[in-house]
Chains A and B, each alone.
Chain A
Amino acid sequence: MVSFIVRRLLQMVPVLLGTTLLIYLMVFALPGEPWEGRCGERACSPAYIAKFKEEYNLNSPVPVQYLLYLGKVLQGDLGVNFYNRPVTEELLQRWPTTATLALMALAFEIVIGITAGVLAGIRKGKFIDNLVTVATLVLISIPVFVIGSLGQLVFGIKLPELTEQLFGVRWGFPVTAVRSKTITPELVWSLVLPAIVLASLQIAYVARLTRTSLVENLRSDYVRTAKAKGLANSRIVGVHTLRNSLVPVITQIGIDLGSLMGGAVVTERIFNIDGIGFFLFRSITQQDGVSVVGAVVCLTLVYLLMNLIVDVLYGFLDPRISHD
């Protein structure tokens, strides 16, 4: 087991180096000036360019530049943005919001996705199965930003109008998120709709995966044995089958935490949530290259780290998987 973890960690090193190198090369080494846009509409003064080059070691050969940059990243230094504030600080400040959003999305993914998948799986070919299949297909087809905008329209604007007409109270989801540096109940409540939107695609995938896996396992010999022993159906599904069926689902969910944080760019832009994704979006519009790279590197590292953790946990979940 230990040797597996060590090997997996070692395998991670070239991927990490490769990814950061790729991102670095694209922004700093390709033709086009990384300081472009830093001086507003005007061209940058030679003095500023010299300072910028000095700061990011752009006068050294590319491999040296990259290693120096990597060293800085490892020390937590991602450079400074337009406002001369360290990018690391900006990211750390927004970290709790994005993490809350991603974790809430993950919770919805688990609850809604697995429930829908199980319902469809145990009633294979029945109405509920077809409903889940069609619903997940529709969810997969509609891009997240469309679901987000439509969700705002339906649950944030139309629903309060409707409840006001019917019951005299405006009831609906907040259309934009609360701005808060700490996690408050208001913030969490305002993140409910964004979290569902963010998770929508993953809910569909998890539901489909659970269904397929459950259907496959329900055909296996041990289920037949359990049936022959006269066990109740709920016990067969709940205790015997579900545990085995959920192994691939849990892997998927673990990987999703990383992709949810990446997908937050879109959701945070729609719902005006002041998280890392919104920071990335704002940096794109302001053409703040250093911030864009910083945020992307940070999100990619989180994504890779999640995949690594899941890979390691996978062995604990399913002892059949060999680690040799």
Chain B
Amino acid sequence: MTDPAAFVTSAPAGDDVPGGPTPTGRERSRSLGADAWREMRRNPIFWIAIALLAVFVSMSIVPGVWAPKDPLICDLALARGLPGPEALFGYDAQGCDVWTRTVHGARSSILVGVLTTAFTLVLGSVVGIIAGFFGGWLDAVLSRLADVFFAIPLLLGGIIVLYTFREPNQPYAVVIFNVVFAISILGWPTIARLMRSSVLQVKANDYVQAARALGASPLRIIISHILPNALAPVIVVSTINLGAYIALEATLSFLGIGLQPPAISWGLAISDASGLNLIRSVPHMLLFPSLFLSLTVLSFILLGEAVRDALDPKLR
């Protein structure tokens, strides 16, 4: 789900790409995707990121395998218990098992991150391609529209949107959707701007002129020539943003405006743990969700940097 390598490899052949750094014998020229994949395979950071993400993604899909206990069953008698063989991460102030709650918290974060990235990627790319490819008044209107959304700081905008759509006792799916919507509606201009400039760069290439001269329709030019060649920077930024969106979701939940209890999320767990008395007496309540959250964000950033290095060695 979060493996952009598969996505990149499937991209059709791009323009002339310099061969890999170690040409073994006479090889046929590889596609951009295959080349990037070769580059990435040899990058240890890529594998570290993938390994970490595999752990967190599997936690979000099948939390029961990692933590068989029920996260909603808590025993006040055990409250503030220290980490031990019974509970790997100890117990929180309500007597809930911190390990179980932390594992189950992965789902909200990963879900919000992946869905938001997907939405911003689709919306931003469509707007960026239309603005960049067709230009003229369409470009002017779309760019100004993007400016307006871009002008609102992400955190403040998120607060306003979520404030508007907040109602007590919403089901889990609705709350998740609200958070995804709030971040997406403010996050798409970044992708749109990037895509637009990327499209403008690709559009000037000879093969696009050639396709046009051969009578290809705009849709065909976009799908088979522009998109595959303009996608690389957008994928890189989206991967890094995925981490940032997860951090933002946690921040909004921390402020009490993102996910609401009884939903389980790292942001909520850290918010619960961050009272001064609790920091003093139950620091493990704060440390473990923080660690998981930071590692998830870190692995997406590392993955994004690995993908960037593979796709565009110039940027290194």
Contact = CB atoms under 8 A, between A and B. Distances in A.
A145 B152 contact: no
Interface in B102-160: 144-145, 147-149, 151-153, 155-157, 159-160
B276 interface: yes
Contact of A146 (B144, B159, B294): B294
Interface in B216-244: 243
B273 interface: yes
Interface stretch (A78-86, A243-251, A289-297): A289-297
A25 to B, nearest CB: 9
Interface string A146-176: 1011101100010000000000000000011
Nearest to A298: B156
A149 B164 contact: no
A266 B255 contact: yes
Given A23-B160, A144-B251, A266-B255, A149 B151 contact: no
Contacts of A296: 156-157, 159-160
Interface stretch (B26-34, B76-84, B200-208, B278-286): B278-286
A142 interface: yes
Contacts of B279: 149, 152-153, 157
A23 B159 CA distance: 11
B251 A157 contact: no
A176 B276 contact: yes
Interface residues of B, number: 45
Interface in A268-284: 269-270, 280-281, 284
Contacts of B144: 14-15, 18
A144 B290 CA distance: 11
B211 interface: no
Contacts of A259: 153
Contact of A143 (B152, B153, B167, B247): B247
Given A149-B279, A176-B276, A143 B151 contact: no
A269 B257 CA distance: 13
A15 B147 CA distance: 7
Interface string B270-301: 11011010011001001100100111011001
Contacts of B156: 262, 265, 296, 299-300, 303
Given A280-B159, A289-B163, A141 B151 contact: no
Contacts of A262: 153, 155-156
Interface in A176-193: 176
A137 interface: yes
25 contacts: A14-B144, A15-B151, A18-B144, A19-B151, A22-B148, A32-B164, A141-B243, A141-B294, A141-B298, A142-B290, A145-B270, A145-B274, A153-B279, A153-B283, A157-B280, A265-B155, A265-B156, A270-B274, A281-B255, A284-B159, A292-B163, A296-B157, A299-B156, A300-B151, A307-B151
Q: Which 4 A-B pairs have the closest CB atoms?
A: A18-B148, A141-B298, A143-B247, A262-B153
